[in-house]
Amino acid sequence: MSTSRHVQKRFASTAAKLVSVPISQLPKFPPKGALRHPPPGTPSTSKWGDWDPQTWAALQPSPQSTFTALAHRIGLAQVLSNKEIEQACTHPSYLPFYSKHNPDEQSLNANGNLATLGNSLLGLFASEFLHTSYPHLPTRVLKAAVSAYVGPQTCASVAKEIGAAPLLRWHRTPPNPMRPPILHATALSSIPRALTALVYQQRSLPTARSFAHTFFLSRDVDIRTMLKFTDPRLNLIETVAKYGREKPVTRLLKETGRHSISPVFVVGAYSGVDKLGEGFGSSLKMAEYRACEDALHRLYLSRTPPHEVHLPTSTFLGFTPDALFSSSSSPSSSPSSSASEPLEAEFIPGSLGESEVLLGSAGRSGIRSAERPRMDAGSGDSAVVGR
């Protein structure tokens, strides 16, 4: 009697860790297979050894109330149904596992196509937002910033924040020469992408953009740490020359403790009378390095004021941004739902920035480059930096 009670408690704790299905929602718990005791000498391959508590727990569907709660948490209760939410939470890796144990039942709908569409939409929204907000951002940094805003790790974090992680149905798949392994974070990142695609299908492109800005692009990402310069001094010289400005010079602005154990130097980078950047350090070279780096950061991280940001996708007039999360939002109530004459807004493009960082180094290619340009020292009583 005590052994049976111990097995039942152990099975209940194992099932509770795997899925978020309360025991009260199960019609018969525990199942008959959990209480079977194989006769002595029965091989494990017989019907007595086929039942596995982890497999049984993974095959249990989530209650419909959990999908309704998720839709209300993200403000899409009037937009998406429980069936669509369930499809968004089902990864394609779960279908072979489900068909193997339920061959007689109808196959489930997975979020494979929806995740692909949502990934493209999120990339579009993030790219236009970053390119319009930071017109001078280098191309490589722009790609890194897009990944930081809507990449797989961010999508997995959004899925956890909205409470969709317990509803995920997936199956771990080992890697093969054709595809990488399917891990939990990979499957979890497909949920926000599928939700974005569903909003786009059920509403319009502006409402999908509003969804992306609410859950993804409203995050605080430090783009400054993504700007890495091997030689900021050389980058600054070529960048200033590209804009047709006067060749930059460095000037020592302040110093203290030159002959002590902890000196501090403050250096400024100038182009004519304009101060481009400022840096400090325990040596002149370090201060010059930081001054040139600060000048480049001021250029490439110059941001367009939010009220002047005009996104290309804003030309498609559909739903207002607040209509997505209101109960009255429906396709028939939108003034732009007329298919005979779609409305378009006038697009005012912003100025294109110099988004490429030019380098004068040949690297390891074996080709000799031109003589390395040197930054001139300031005139007057200012000290020469780097000598």
Could you state, in order of their start, the residue ranges of all structural domains in the chain? 60-223, 228-300+311-327+370-387
The yes-or-no verdict on residue 245 having pLDDT over 60 is yes
Contact 216, 149 (CB under 8 A): yes
Q: Are 193 and 151 in contact (CB under 8 A)?
A: no
Work out the pLDDT band at 242, boundaries 50, 70, 90. Answer: confident
Amino acid identity, position 375: M
211 token code pair: 């969804």
Where residue 308 falls among pLDDT bands split at 50, 70, 90? confident
pLDDT in tens, 66-110: 999 999 999 999 999 999 999 999 999 999 988 888 888 888 899
> The domain at 60-223 falls in which architecture?
Orthogonal Bundle (1.10)
* Residue 221 amino acid letter: V
What pLDDT sits at residue 339? 41
Q: Is the pLDDT of residue 118 over 50?
A: yes
- Helix, strand, coil share of the chain (percent; to 5): 45, 10, 45
pLDDT at 93: 92
Amino acid at 82: N
Residue, of 115 and 366, whose pLDDT is higher: 115
Instruction: Render the burial of 345-362: b for 16+ CB within 10 Å, e for the rest.
Output: eeeeeeeebebebeeeee
Distance CA 296, CA 236 (A): 7
Answer whether 60-223 and 228-300+311-327+370-387 agree in fold: no
Select the CATH number that applies to the domain covering 228-300+311-327+370-387 from these four: 3.30.1360.10, 1.10.3720.10, 3.30.160.20, 3.30.1330.10: 3.30.160.20
pLDDT at 211: 94
Kindly list the distances between the CA atom of residue 376 and the CA atoms of 33, 233, 262, 272, in Å, as whole numbers in the listed order: 83, 11, 27, 12
* Residue 128 CB coordination number (10 Å): 17
- Record the pTM: 0.74
3 state SS of 345? coil
- pLDDT at residue number 59: 83
Nearest to 356 by CA among 235, 232, 225: 235
pLDDT category of residue 313 using cuts at 50, 70 and 90 = confident
Please, which residues have CB within 8 angstroms of residue 150's CB and are 6 or more apart in sequence? 119, 122, 123, 125, 126, 212, 216, 217
